A and B are shown apart, each in its own frame.
Chain A
Amino acid sequence: MEKIKQIWRSLIWSYDPKDKIEATKATSKNFWLHWFPARTTYKSMSITYSFWLGTVLFSLFIILTITGVILMFLYIPSTERAYWTIKDLENSVSFGWFLRNAHRWAAHLMVTAVFLHMARVFFTGAYKNGGNPEANRPLNWIVGVILLILTLALSYTGYLLPWDQLALWAIVIGANIAKSVPPENIVGESLYFFLAGGTQIDQNTLIRFYVLHCIFLPILLLVLSSYHMWRIRKDGGLAVSEQYKIEAKKQNKRLIQDEYTTFTIPFLFRRVFMIFLVTTAIVLFFSVFAKAPLEEPADPSWTPNPAKAPWYFLWIQELITITTVKIGDFTINGGFLGGALIPALLFLLWAVWPYLDKSPDEATGVWFHKSRIVHNIIFAIILIILIAVTIFAMYFRGPYWQVYWPWRWPEIPHMF
């Protein structure tokens, strides 16, 4: 028994701390934990500062990877069989419904959590270096924007795979947005041909999006999110930690490590694990009580009326509808303007925002700091517009994408 314990220890817990120095080494000498810092500041563990959304996202990614890999064994990426393998998940595979629900709910929660995470970072001014010459938080913010786009790309490629009506028409519209990039007969059509793997949406398209969803995008996400977390350490922890230095400088005091930091193990590690458990519990709760929808099998000859995108793309669908510009014979397709150019410019503006923010160091890692009031108001207005457009598209757009009062609409709108 002692021998087994020894082997176990040598494999996973290589150090048993007996004093402060050893406790510090407990983190760095353990392969699984060495990406944690040895000590953590108290402020960065505050729930109301970060809401632990980054940890929530990491937890969701783990859940998505596990359920996703199992789903890969049960799914066949063929236009003839894909739909029926999903039906089998619902009707024949033991706990197939649960796997699908968990994967889907974790995905929806991930999109939500990425948005909230970025909103939190923005409102707390956490993309600022706060006078720390070694930090490069604006870079990590840009990585974050790319991670947001990757998350959306994963969701998009994911909901195509069941090859139901939602999937087919989402992919038709997505591929045609690519086709509308001017000059259409050179760039647009080549993009479409490359994305779809032909001149129409078919088997080639499904297998492309399948590989993107299962291999290409997750690996890219894993690499970038690892870099994202590594950068947090290189930047000196969460931005709120800069507050200790700023306050000490103001009061002309020396910082004493024991007063503002504590050991990562067990204090940070325990909290990370608890957040993982809470996230898992939320996903399980939704998975058990809310069923993932599946529309009719894909049928290119008729389009559901209205054909609505999932909630996180509704603002783009609304933009696509209203942005076709016609001046005489000159026309710009709304697919390009509202579906590609405006979202791309919004993301670009979002990505470079830290470089436009010239607020003082004190505003680093503080919720709604008064020196950043203009930034926060502009950001809040953009958020409110996006949310308002989403609600409008969700409840006030009926058949043929016409404006309806929600209570006049005969069918219940698809929310997701």
Chain B
Amino acid sequence: MDRRKFIAYLGRTAVVLTFLGQGFAYFRSLIPNTLYEPPKKFKLGYPKDYPEGITFVAKYRIFLVREGKSFWVISAICQHLGCTVNIVPPKTEVVKIKGEEFRQKWEFFCPCHGSAYYGDGTFYGGPAPKSLPWYKLDIGPDGQLVVDTNTEVDHKFRLVVEDLGG
């Protein structure tokens, strides 16, 4: 490569890099670094405030289930395309989930594309690709329930609370 060609090549490269660099800056600025979203870990109040059975916590789009002193949390966000599922009366009371019998008092149905989930969130119909996740539930030092939607737990998870608070 002679000197003139080299300088011409350098010039062209500089022009291309100038515009690519700007393009990258414009694009990168649109990917936020700071989010002002509500935290993924939040308090749900005292266990005694929740009645037996299932409660829909609208603010956080989750279901809190209580059975005596046991508590667990199921997501209310359909795993298909993110609509909020509804609690409906069960089609059949006893269903088989992974070979085990499961007695259910409710099911979940999605209004958008008709995905159907059993009472524990296991999908069985419609287009949903997977089951409703369960989230880690804990009791905070102040006796309030704390949900961590960053951590998924399996369907055997139970939070047993001796002191119901208040």
Residues of chain A whose beta carbon lies under 8 Å from any beta carbon of chain B: 169, 172-173, 175-177, 179-180, 193-194, 197-200, 202, 204, 208, 300-307, 317, 320-324, 326, 331-335, 339, 399-402
Would A172 and B80 count as touching, CB distance under 8 A? no
Q: Report if B127 contacts A (CB, 8 A).
A: yes
CB distance from B90 to the nearest CB of A (A): 14
With both beta carbons as reference points, the residue of chain B lying nearest to A323 in the complex is identified as B127
Tell whether, in the assembled complex, residue B83 and residue A321 are in contact, meaning their CB atoms are under 8 Å apart.
no
Q: Is the CB of A400 within 8 A of B58?
A: no
**Inter-chain contact A334/B127, CB cutoff 8 Å:** yes
Docked complex: B93-127 residues within 8 A CB-CB of A: 109-114, 126-127
Q: Is the CB–CB distance between A324 and B61 below 8 Å?
A: no
* Of listed A300, A323, A400, A402, residue having the most chain B CB within 10 A: A400
B35 touches A321 (CB 8 A): no
Within the complex, which residue of B84, B110, B129 is in contact with A326, where a contact is CB–CB below 8 Å? B129
Given known pairs A202-B37, A324-B128, the reply for A303 and B113 (CB within 8 Å) is: no
CB of B5 closer than 8 Å to a CB of A: no
A173-B112, A198-B37 known; A302 vs B84 contact (CB < 8 Å): yes
Q: Please tell me if the beta carbons of B30 and A324 are within 8 angstroms of each other in the complex.
A: no
Chain A residues positioned under 8 Å from B114 (CB to CB): 321, 400-402
Residue B7 at the chain A interface, CB threshold 8 Å:
no
B81 within 8 A of A: yes
Residues of A near B82 (CB, < 8 A) are 172-173, 175-176, 179
Q: How far is the CA of A317 from the CA of B110 in the complex (A)?
A: 14
Cβ-defined contact, B109 with A321, below 8 A: no
Please state if B81 and A335 are interface contacts (CB–CB under 8 Å): yes
Residue of B nearest to A190 (CB): B31
Q: In the complex, how many angstroms separate the beta carbon of B94 from the nearest chain A beta carbon?
A: 22
Chain B residues with CB below 8 A from A194, complex form:
30-31
Which residues of A are found within 8 Å of B86, using beta-carbon distances?
302-303, 305, 400
Please give, as numbers and ranges, the residues of chain B lying within 8 Å of A172 by CB-CB distance.
81-83
Cβ of A301: which chain B residues have Cβ within 8 Å of it?
56, 58-59, 61, 84
CB of A401 within 8 A of CB of B113, answer yes
Give the number of chain B interface residues (Cβ < 8 Å): 27
B88 and chain A: residue at smallest CB distance = A400
Whether A324 lies near B81 (C-beta < 8 A) is no
Q: Are A331 and B130 in contact (CB under 8 A)?
A: yes
In the complex, what distance in Å separates the CA atom of A146 from the CA atom of B111?
32
Q: Which residues of A contact B113 (CB under 8 A)?
A: 317, 320-321, 334, 401
| A302 and B32 alpha carbons, distance in the complex (Å) | 27
CB distance from A321 to the nearest CB of B (A): 4
**Contact partners of A323 in chain B: CB under 8 A:** 127
B112 near A177 (CB under 8 angstroms)?
A: no
Partner of A197, one of B32, B84, B111, B127: B32
> Please, which residue of chain B has its CB at the minimum distance from the CB of A299?
B58
Report chain B residues within 8 Å CB of A335. 80-81, 127
Given A173-B83, A176-B82, A401:B61 Cβ within 8 A: no
Chain B residue nearest in CB terms to A196: B32
Q: Which A residue's beta carbon lies closest to that of B34?
A: A198
Q: Does A306 lie within 8 Å of B127, measured CB to CB? A: no
Q: How far is the CB of B34 from chain A (nearest CB, A)?
A: 10
Min CB distance A369 to B, Å, is 41
Which of B37, B83, B86, B126 has most A Cβ within 10 Å? B83
Cβ of B37 and Cβ of A199 under 8 Å apart?
yes
Distance to closest chain A CB from B126 (angstroms): 7
Query: Which A residues are in CB contact (< 8 Å) with B129?
Result: 324, 326, 331-334
Candidates A177, A300, A322, A332; contact of B81 at CB < 8 Å: A177
Distance between Cα atoms of A58 and B76 in the complex (Å): 45
Task: Tell me the smallest distance from the CB of B35 to a CB of chain A, in Å.
Answer: 5
